[in-house]
Chain A
Amino acid sequence: AQSVTQLDSQVPVFEEAPVELRCNYSSSVSVYLFWYVQYPNQGLQLLLKYLSGSTLVKGINGFEAEFNKSQTSFHLRKPSVHISDTAEYFCAVTKGSYQKVTFGTGTKLQVIP
């Protein structure tokens, strides 16, 4: 069975500071990893994904994530956050097509002016 752990339920950070949102997964097979963002009162949208190839993945709005197989992690980073980045971020994992996607419990990023 696969699982996803987002240890930080809330992360406050000052505007223009860097941020890292942590995601660890467990799976006995190769996986595909995603980060989704949910802005206040909106639906989820895909931020970035890792399928194969380069372990550093760049997404929208200046976010990037690095797949680390040995540490089973897929942490999300941004070098300088904006107020508009205030949202909830979900990490997700799947074993592939036609497979269930498991989501983490989410991390609320609060950017402080």
Chain B
Amino acid sequence: GAGVSQSPSNKVTEKGKDVELRCDPISGHTALYWYRQRLGQGLEFLIYFQGNSAPDKSGLPSDRFSAERTGESVSTLTIQRTQQEDSAVYLCASSLGADHYNEQFFGPGTRLTVL
């Protein structure tokens, strides 16, 4: 079956612009995660959805970052007034719910470059 897909694969934007990143999880996966991976660094947790609600938003770096999920499916991560430090690869992952202990399936990522 299809894996996790993300779009766009690459995004170049100017400082101050807003960007929207999309994640399509594996069908039937109730949990969805967003991570940020800066160049040469590890994964930084941003936000987690269980269904359409986000029990843990603790990783969002600032109020410029927001995310939503609809229909227990697609999720969008929005970054407003982008800054150069937002440049990174944004990874999305999904997992089944109970009894699957959060084994995550990752998408290919969106590489964001803020000029």
Which segment, of A44-52, A54-62, A75-83, faces chain B? A44-52
Assembly CA distance A103 to B33 (angstroms): 12
* Size category, A interface: 20 to 34
* Size category, B interface: 20 to 34
A98-B31, A103-B45, A105-B42 given; A32·B106 CB < 8 A: no
Chain A 20-43 interface mask (CB, 8 Å, partner B; 1/0):
000000000000101010000011
Please determine whether B102 and A103 come into contact, CB atoms closer than 8 angstroms.
no
Chain B 85-102 interface mask (CB, 8 Å, partner A; 1/0):
000000101000111111
| A residues with CB within 8 A of B | 6, 32, 34, 36, 42-46, 49, 51, 90, 94, 96-106
A sample of 11 cross-chain residue pairs with beta-carbon separation below 8 angstroms, ordered by A number, consists of: A36-B104, A43-B107, A43-B108, A43-B109, A46-B104, A94-B102, A96-B102, A101-B45, A102-B45, A104-B42, A106-B43
